[in-house]
Structure 1
Amino acid sequence: MGCKASFNAKLVNTKWCVTSARVEHNHHLSPRQVRLFRCNKNLDLVAKSKLEINDKARIRINKNYNSLAIEARGYENLVYGEKDCHNFIAKSRHLRLGIGGAEALHGYFSKMQELNDGFYFEMDLDDEYRLRNVFWADAQIRASYEDFGDVITFDTTYLTNMYEMSFALFVKVNHHGQSILFRVT
């Protein structure tokens, strides 16, 4: 469309200051479409709860979204789209382990700790026993750290774009100057 309308601001100390504003549009504005702007999309707590409950009951997301639209008396009354529901459920599924999943992981790590004195782990769960954070290192990783621990990088950008969850990689540099991912078993 080539519309030149824009709004720029910058943060000065703790306040936002408008640096420029151009409000002239070369097209008609559609107030009904404002709800679809990214800044206005918002899944409220009730919708999130219904999406999660219905997902656990294995109700497909498109049916789930349709029921939310019926409750709102039309799609035009929703401030989010089906894609937003898909994204929320995908993130929720990655945070939620299966029934007993957190306990199973804890059991596995405890068994590894019994078999290997050098095995270390920490798990962080929320109130609903969904895994938030986990860290583990075996004896070989810990020994490598002792030998080559003078240079380590910590990268948390892996998978953040797709799932908005971090997978932190610990990378060491060996005596040949090569980057080596710490081995995880």
Structure 2
Amino acid sequence: MSKLHVIFNVVTESWVVRDFCDEHNHELVVPKLARMLRSHKKMTEPDISQMNHMKEVGISMPNIFGSLASQCGGYENVNFSIKDMHNQVAKQRRQLPDDLTSAMAYLETLAARDQNLFYSVEKGREGVFRQIFWCDGRC
């Protein structure tokens, strides 16, 4: 049984390891399945890059995953899942500026140059962009 017993010594004001036993009390993961543990799952930069290129030309995630698996010598050799691929895509989307932020920045740049510019933005529930109206000084 794995066990670690630590106490605080008030005299020396330090932590002291009193007892340590590193015997496991359960079966370890079979080595061929260890790749699916959270600590071992990782998409490498080349994997991400290749996935992005394939996605840009319209290849579906299952087909991309199959292609990457065939390059690795089989599904059992891929260190991530299709869900991990979807999570990576979502992470990349969160890092990009959203359309509303870009549109607002553009309108603010125009407003700095044109004192007669008018714009109005309507957001729906949860701050989701619904509509935008603007007209410049020439209008």
Q: Does the 8 Å contact 1:51/1:64 carry over to 2?
A: yes
Q: Distance in 2 between matches of 1:7 and 1:69?
A: 41
RMSD over aligned CA atoms reads: 3.5
CA displacement 1:131-182 (0-9 Å, x = unmatched):
xxxxxxxxxxxxxxxxxxxxxxxxxxxxxxxxxxxxxxxxxxxxxxxxxxxx
Aligned to 1:62: 62
Segments of structure 2 that go 5 or more residues without pairing to the other structure are: 6-16, 116-139
Q: What is the aligned-residue identity percentage? A: 21
Q: CA deviation at 1:89?
A: 1.0
1:107 maps to a residue whose letter is: Y
Q: Which has the higher contact order (CA 8 A, sep 6+)?
A: 2
- The size of the alignment, in residue pairs, is 103
CA displacement 1:41-98 (0-9 Å, x = unmatched):
1111110101111222232212111111111110111111111111001111333469
Q: Distance in 1 between matches of 2:34 and 2:78?
A: 11
The structure with the largest helix share of the pair is 2
How do residues 11-90 of structure 1 correspond to structure 2 at under 5 angstroms?
A: 20=20, 22-27=22-27, 29-90=29-90
Bigger CA radius of gyration? 2
Aligned to 2:108: 109
Segments of structure 1 that go 5 or more residues without pairing to the other structure are: 9-17, 117-185
2:52 maps to a residue whose letter is: E
Relative to structure 1, is the Cα distance of residues 44 and 104 closer, same or farther in structure 2, using a 3 angstrom cutoff?
Answer: same
